[in-house]
């Protein structure tokens, strides 16, 4: 298997990562996987995919829909607040692991859209608040302005 193959003018050593010339793809030959991997498809860890699924839970007597990650975080934090140090330690470890996991993968389209919506909402809220503050300040300034009398004082 490790013997050189003779081709016109060259010697070729067959071995690991070097298949015999007759078994290599020929130019113009159709691929054995013509469709290939779909574009934009990224192999994502199953746990990360499951953490993003929506679940319905009961929060203060009301049914609320959120990701499994949010529901799990709520449960962990509620248990840690009751004074369980093991859960508190687990929350810290999970936070570190999630930060590493999110740092190694590209954000999904849904996450990007959610972030954009959050930024748009934040910007709109800031504009409304700025308008309210300006109106309030103008109103306060008008209320604190001394009234001018008809007679000029000498």
The span from the CA of 116 to the CA of 16, in Å, is 49
Looking at 86, 104, 122, which one is the last position of a domain? 104
* Selection from 45-59, 107-121, 128-142 with the highest mean pLDDT: 45-59
Query: What is the pLDDT at residue 149?
Result: 55
User: Is 132 domain-assigned?
Assistant: yes
Q: Which of 14, 71, 68 is nearest to 46 (CA)?
A: 68
User: Using CB atoms within 10 A of its CB, is residue 24 exposed (0-12), middle (13-18) or buried (19+)?
Assistant: exposed
User: Is 78 domain-assigned?
Assistant: yes
- This prediction's pTM: 0.35
Residues 77 and 100 in one domain: yes
pLDDT digits (tens, 9 = 90+) for 52-106: 889 998 888 899 999 988 888 888 788 888 887 888 788 778 778 777 777 776 7
Count Cβ neighbours within 10 Å for each residue of 121-139 and write b for 16 or more, e otherwise: eeeeeeeeeeeeeeeeeee
Quote the tokens at residue 92. Answer: 């810290």
Instruction: Give the pLDDT mean for 8-28.
Output: 83
User: Is 20 domain-assigned?
Assistant: no
Residues 74 and 98 in one domain: yes
User: Is 60 domain-assigned?
Assistant: yes
User: Is 154 domain-assigned?
Assistant: no
Query: What is the pLDDT at residue 124?
Result: 79
User: Is 13 domain-assigned?
Assistant: no
Find the domain containing 85 and state its range.
46-104
Count of domains forming the chain? 2
- Sign of dihedral through CA atoms 40, 41, 45, 49? positive
Residues 73 and 96 in one domain: yes
Residue at token pair 């692991």 = 97
């Amino acid at each position: 298997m490790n013997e050189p193959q003779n081709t016109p003018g060259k010697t070729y050593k067959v071995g690991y990562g070097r298949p015999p010339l007759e078994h290599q793809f020929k130019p113009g030959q159709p691929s054995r996987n013509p469709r290939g991997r779909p574009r934009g498809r990224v192999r994502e860890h199953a746990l990360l995919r499951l953490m993003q699924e929506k679940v319905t839970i009961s929060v203060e007597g009301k049914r609320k829909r959120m990701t499994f990650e949010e529901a799990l975080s709520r449960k962990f934090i509620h248990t840690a607040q009751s004074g369980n140090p093991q859960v508190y330690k687990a929350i810290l470890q999970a936070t570190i692991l999630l930060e590493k996991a999110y740092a190694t993968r590209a954000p999904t389209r849904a996450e990007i859209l959610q972030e954009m919506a959050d930024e748009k909402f934040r910007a709109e809220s800031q504009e409304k608040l700025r308008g309210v503050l300006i109106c309030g300040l103008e109103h306060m300034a008008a209320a604190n302005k001394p009234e001018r009398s008809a007679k000029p004082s000498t």
